[in-house]
Amino acid sequence: MLPNFLHLGAAKAASTYLWTIYQEHPEIYVPLKLEEGGRTTNADNPNFFVGTYHKGLDWYEKTFFAGWNGEKAVGETSNSYMLFEPALERIARDLPGVRVSMILRNPVEIAFLQYATNIKSQLINLERASLDKMLYSHSWQLFRMWAEPGFYASHIRRVLRFFPRERVHIAFYDDLCADSLAFVRSFFRFLEVDDRFAPAQTNTVIGFPGTSGSDTPEGTISKGIAPDLLEELRLVFREDIEQLEQLTGRDLSAWRRA
């Protein structure tokens, strides 16, 4: 059974949390952790339509969905599909009628989290690639790599070129933090499964890596990021946020000042 829904991202915006919640619902099937060739398959982020598409749909189905047992909704949660037009084109062609969803998080937070992840994994040297140096010098291209996921308006317009609006669910990370049960039930309604179901792990979002309070911009500022730099980052995203408000009808003024 191939998917009839996909979560497209964004990264650092509760995709793994959503995957965990979906595992609990009796009418939803998502891939579970399994061993393939001596290693654990990345079931919470298969990323097939970007990274392993060359292996074919049969491989995709057998690797990730062989355990399907008649559940009404079957799908997966990858955190980068929304960024890549070739992936969206493949999804629209190979999975006709598929429903797609996205969770959007304050793009300034996303940029900080991407930066912090690279520092933590030692992919970049903190002395040579501080955020202020990247923003004000030749390292803009490197900063853009982290900032790109947060330019949501352009990503959504791209998604809507391939999928009709009624098959696209756009949610906001802020709503998850405000009322996690209402948040996950909006996804259940979108998938047309029982939205009365209350997952046991609904309130565990803050415990997931990359979503804790210590990873917020304010936490980073306390470690040496200047307020004027934070304001510059807000300016980077301001125009896109305004366009996103027009696309979604959502008041995002908090993002412009948070």
DSSP labels for 35-57? EETTEE--TT---IIIIIGGG-H
Rounded mean pLDDT, 30-44: 62
- Which CA distances in Å does 63 have to 50, 81, 258? 16, 19, 42
Q: What is the pTM of this model?
A: 0.82
Kindly report the average pLDDT of the chain as a whole number. Answer: 81
Q: Burial level of 10, CB count in 10 A (0-12/13-18/19+)?
A: buried
Question: With 50 as the cut, is the pLDDT of residue 123 above it?
Answer: no
Averaged pLDDT for residues 183-206: 87
Position 236, amino acid: V
Distance in angstroms (rounded) separating the CA atoms of residues 248 and 168: 11
CB atoms under 10 Å from CB of 209, counted, come to 10
In which band, very low, low, confident or very high, does the pLDDT at 212 lie, cut at 50, 70 and 90? very low
Does pLDDT of 222 surpass 50? no
What's the Cα-to-Cα distance from 112 to each of 97, 208, 218, rounded to whole Å? 36, 17, 10
pLDDT for position 74: 98
Average pLDDT over residues 190-204: 88
**CATH number at 5-257:** 3.40.50.300
C-beta of residue 129 within 8 angstroms of C-beta of residue 142 = yes
Region of poorest pLDDT, from 5-9, 138-142, 224-228: 138-142
Mean pLDDT across 190-216: 67
Q: Which has more pLDDT, 140 or 235?
A: 235
pLDDT of the residue at 87: 96
What does each C-alpha distance from 141 to 113, 149, 226 come to in angstroms? 17, 14, 21
Least confident among 5-19, 39-53, 156-170, 244-258 = 39-53
